[in-house]
Structure 1
Amino acid sequence: MRFKYDELSQAPLIVNSIYEGGSKGNPAADDPLTKLFKVEGYLKSVGNRSGFRKSMKENNGKSTKEVAYVVIFSTGKVKEWPDFYDKAQGVFTYYGDNRAPGNHYLNTKQRGNILLKEVFEKAASNSPAIRKTIPPMFVFESTGVASNVEFLGIAVPGIKGKHIDESLELITVAEEGDQFQNYRATLTMIDIEHQGISRKWLAQLKDFNGNPNNYAPKEWINYVENGIKYVQPLDGNSREVILPEETFISPSEKQYLRKTRVTQGKFRERLLKHNQTCKICGMDIIKLLVASHIKPWSFSNDTERTDFYNGILLCPAHDAAFDNGLISFNRDGSIIISPLLNKENQKLLNLNSDLKIELEPNHLKYLEWHRHKVYIRDK
């Protein structure tokens, strides 16, 4: 997706999405990250300079010394410090913020290397309580067009199968006779929900008294509770960016969008031939029925995208609840209702724990994916 500059203060963080900068011609004023991370109800955002930007927690309208989260911004163009994202493996290599010969590697303006050192020390702990104090790191890369940036995902320190001490290396670089040191950090990009990161989570992180697990991505909670060994890395290649039609798109992108619409139209037709009512409530206004993918389109391969058994016909309200993980279904077709959906809203949606839908065996593998990757189990 693509978000324009004036939309950023309300925009969710969606992997591979583009966030446009301003048009004033002033790099500081046009910086999209400052606006994107200005959380409603809190005074300060992240800075508009450097590749390592911290946002501090706030207490009663005042900044504290505790880090809420970090934004890592890479241009990908500094030869001496070649930050690199391996999308297939979900591994991001980031070089620290000491870029000046003769300067001690921990003595940097943004104190980024000090924070990296602290974060990796906490990651080495076996205590979930200590990992809970690790600030999330949101990684962005320049698109090369104006001030626009692309969101790559959330990074956690270390990678599976490698000791945490080996994931933060102190390297020495020689430049014109001077030697200086810097960190090379290896980070894992975690697999977050396709609908992206809620701004409510950013607010919880900013609040000195907030709960950093409230509204957090499920894989972030998994990391906090179980450590890097059990984390599911993000496959960045599986996330496709589909731009709104009103933005400029190239001929190849137009061809892709045209193919997408045709494929989804045929998919809906197949579902309608089998049944013409909402699977949950029985609503039979055909124009309103949504052909919902159980395993979302963005995560499915070409075969799965057109597979009849990866589909379920729903009315708009139940489609939205299903797509956002507020409901799912067990193998026997019985409904599972997320704790985020209170009794009042369950009643408005005509949902109850006795509800059960008919399923066929080929539906089950897709529903298992939905239960583990989309359905929200915790508040």
Structure 2
Amino acid sequence: MTLPNEVLLALRPTHSPPVRQLIEQAGVDVSGWAVDKNGEEIPNPNTNTYKNSQWTFGGSGEPIVVCVWWKDLAVKGDHLSHDGSSKGYSKDLGNALAAPDRTSSEAQRLRGKIVKAHAFDRAVYEASSKELPLRMVVLDGETPDEEDSAQVSARASKRLLDDADWYAHTYDPFSGNYELVRGIPPVHAPPPDPFGGAEDPAEDPAFQQFLADAPLSETEKDALIKARVGQGWFRDVLVKRWRGCAVTNCTDSALLIASHILPWRLCTTRVERLGVSNGLLLAPHIDKAFDIGLISFDDAFRILISEKMRKGDEIALNIHPGMTLKSREHSDIRPFLKRHREEIFQAPARVLTTR
């Protein structure tokens, strides 16, 4: 019987076959590698830079293949494991992207990594929810320190396709934490999808790649996401929960906007992107002021008005210190309101006196 430590050593790559060759060996259709992301033909598909740089392949009826660094594999008892957190990594990348001195090339590199991290999360989610095996491409090479992730991309100099199946033993849709185990199928049924298969733009690779590449500001990208998310399942559950604007007396849902408390671009799991606890149904002027951080709400659901909001605009828009979120029952929104105050709200708040 081969010991786990011996298996781990045997999985350290010593050669560098083309990524395309390994993906094809895993059973994934690689015909699309013959053209680049702009539709131009590539004489040698093995040199498709865009495809070679992805972290996941297949899925949706094809075998699921994930790329993992050898250094991130670990022996646990009698088996090999790979543990991670898609939320933690994506959040770190998002924080790096938000740095004020970020150059355009650094921002594009970070957005690309965020897209790939979301795709990795989708792959693990699919394997967990459908009880499917994963194939693993093990990589060895140079990986940048976390603080250098905006300036440097990882470089895999050696790689191999593990001949064993891996399985998602755990996947938490709230935290993004997961554990992949080599060769041992899970013995428990996966938890049901709390969102009933609702469409999530983060699960559309084409849309995600468009957002990463498009020469648009973060505000413009947020507007595109809001327009898409705000027409489906997320909007429906907010309409049902709030039964009108969460702040004003407007009850015509056709006039209201489904708004994320923590912006979609900062969300890293399906729970954050689709969960009703991260949403408010708002009149357009309240939504805009909330989106750009001119207003927020405290833990008692009372409005906070930024000092950066002009007094005349407050009066014109009828935004005033007496405003609150209508329902006090939805305590599950407090963690998201806290993050909104910390990451979006343009503090400090004006000292408020009711009129």
TM-score (structure 2 length as normaliser): 0.37
Q: Is the strand fraction higher in 1 or 2? A: 1
More helix by share: 2
